[in-house]
Structure 1
Amino acid sequence: MPIWNQLRNATQNMQSQLVAKKKDLQSGSFRDASMAMCALVAAADGSVDQEERTKVANLITTNEVLSNFPPDQLRTLFDQDCNKLAADFDFGKVELIQTVSKTKKKPAEARAVIQIGIIIGGADGNFDDQEKKVVREACHAVGLDPAEFEL
């Protein structure tokens, strides 16, 4: 099976798992961590160009799992997180990883945030090494083994 098909199947399975847990994923910390994770994945190469920012924002506002939250609220948070990375990538990354780490005490939320990062990373059919690296860092921040997600 081509690698793209494997990635697509894996992200579809993760999305299905998240949809099944949707009612449990309604906290503000989950929302904030999810948007931080999306910004980190979008900027994994050190910058976020406008085209990529728009694509990820569209994925966020149409994702069923994130539909517990108003789309304009998600977009605002995502834009703020991207702006932090654009202003000072290293400092912004530290701050966003800290936001992700706030889900550590709720393992279901932490797993969901990691899964959202993988879904966003794989949405273009290429979950590249830089995107995998930032998701691995997020795994460590929430106390999850990256191997659980085949990272």
Structure 2
Amino acid sequence: MALWDRIKDSASTMQTQLVAKKNDLKSGAFRDASMAMCALVAAADGTIDASERRRVAQLIMSNEVLQNFDAADLQKRFDANLDKLTADFDFGKVSVLQEVAKAKKKEAEGRAVIQIGIVIGGADGDFDQAERGVVREACQMLGLAPTEFDL
């Protein structure tokens, strides 16, 4: 199976698992950590252009699990995290990873945040090394083994 097909299948599997847990993923910690993860993946290479920002924002708005939350609030949180990353990527990444760590208290939420990162990263069919790297770092912040997610 081609790499692109494996990425696409993995993202699809992760989304199915997330939808199955949708009713358990309604906390503010999950919301905050998810938006931080989306921003990390979007800016994984250290930059983010307007088209990439729009693409990730559209993925957030269309994600069935994230529809538990107000769309305008999600957009505000996503943009705030992106602003931190674009102002100073290294310093911003520390702050944004702390947002991800909010989901550490509930293991199911932590796993779901990682799955959202994989879904967002794989949505374009190219879950690149920079994106994988920030998702691995998020795993460490959440006390989860990256190998559990094939990272």
In structure 2, what is the equivalent of residue 68 of structure 1? 68
In structure 2, what is the equivalent of residue 130 of structure 1? 130
Report the more deviating stretch, 3-12 or 15-24. 3-12
| Alignment partners' CA distance in 2, 1:148 and 1:98 | 21
Which residue identity does 2:132 align to in structure 1?
Answer: K
Which residue identity does 1:104 align to in structure 2?
Answer: K
Equivalences for 1:1-150 in 2 at 5 Å?
A: 1-150=1-150
Shift of residue 113, structure 1, vs aligned partner: 0.2
Shift of residue 119, structure 1, vs aligned partner: 0.5
* TM-score, normalised via structure 2 length: 0.98
Which structure 1 segments of 5+ residues have no match?
A: none
Shift of residue 91, structure 1, vs aligned partner: 1.2
**Can you list the C-alpha shifts for 1:47-80, whole angstroms capped at 9, x where unaligned?**
1111100000000011001000011111111011
* TM-score, normalised via structure 1 length: 0.98
Which residue identity does 1:32 align to in structure 2?
Answer: D
The RMSD of aligned alpha carbons is 0.6
Which residue identity does 2:14 align to in structure 1?
Answer: M
Which structure 2 segments of 5+ residues have no match?
A: none
- Kindly report structure 1 stretches of 4+ aligned residues shifted beyond 3 Å: none
Report the more deviating stretch, 81-90 or 20-29. 81-90
Equivalenced residue count is: 151
Percentage of pairs with the same residue:
62
**Can you list the C-alpha shifts for 1:32-53, whole angstroms capped at 9, x where unaligned?**
0000000000000001111100
| Alignment partners' CA distance in 2, 1:93 and 1:114 | 16
Which residue identity does 1:17 align to in structure 2?
Answer: Q
